[in-house]
Structure 1
């Protein structure tokens, strides 16, 4: 008798929990529909464009510049400003990138012309908000803003 009761309670709990999951799926679908519509950026040309990421830490500041070249190569410049000493350091990485619609995969495997053992790789997603193009890092959600949007244009 106890086994039968336990078995029936197990089956009924699975049935009721599955109803809750379908409700959660409906809520998630509504949220996704209300969310931003991601535009297809296939027509946007990134060749010759520069994107900038600026980070500020307690002891230093970092500026990263990512430049896409016309021949499928890229240049990534890393500028580090030490706040204590006031000195600046730079690293220049080169490599290549692959683009498939909005997704861009970046691999920098040379540091100032010398091959490095562990290449820097980033997976970026090309996005647009209010006519400002930016790259969003898929792994950590950092945003690389196009350089043209950072400079105020004189009219």
Structure 2
């Protein structure tokens, strides 16, 4: 009797699991259809383009400006505004990047001309929505918007 009950519970769990699995497949199909609309950015050049990330915290705000140069080098400017004192601080990093289609790997390993022990590394994905180009950080989902698009929005 125990073996029969165990067999019945095993079969019923497989049946209910397969129903759940079809729902997961439906969700995956929706995600795939959504991503098919994404553009291939192979033809879009990022040379001499700037991308900006703005973050606001309780005690300070940060602006990060990422400029890509034609020779696969980059400049990362970090501006920090202290809300308590009103002072601004800046750090200027330099480094290089590698691009493969929409994926961009950024490594900033020099701080104001001096090599640093632990470089700043970003894994970014180049995306387009409503003719606005932006970089999405793969690890944190933060978005770096192209500087030209910020200027258009303000006008």
TM-score (norm 2): 0.90
**Deviation string, structure 1 residues 83-111 (Cα, Å, up to 9, x no partner):** 11111111111111010101101011111
Report the equivalent of 2:124: 124
Structure 1 runs of 4+ with >4 Å offset: none
CA distance in 2, matches of 1:34, 1:100: 22
CA 1:73/1:34 → structure 2, altered by over 3 Å: closer, same or farther? closer
Report the equivalent of 1:32: 32
Report the equivalent of 1:143: 143
Report the equivalent of 2:91: 91
CA distance in 2, matches of 1:146, 1:135: 8
- Gapped runs of 5+ residues in structure 2? none
Q: Does 1:22 align with 2:48?
A: no
CA shift at 1:112, angstroms?
1.1
**Deviation string, structure 1 residues 40-85 (Cα, Å, up to 9, x no partner):** 0000000110001111111111010000011111110100011111
Report the equivalent of 2:75: 75
Q: Which has the higher helix share?
A: 2
Matched positions, count = 154
Report the equivalent of 1:52: 52
CA shift at 1:23, angstroms?
3.1
CA distance in 2, matches of 1:86, 1:2: 74
Q: C-alpha root-mean-square deviation of aligned residues, in Å?
A: 1.9
CA distance in 2, matches of 1:117, 1:51: 25
TM-score (norm 1): 0.90
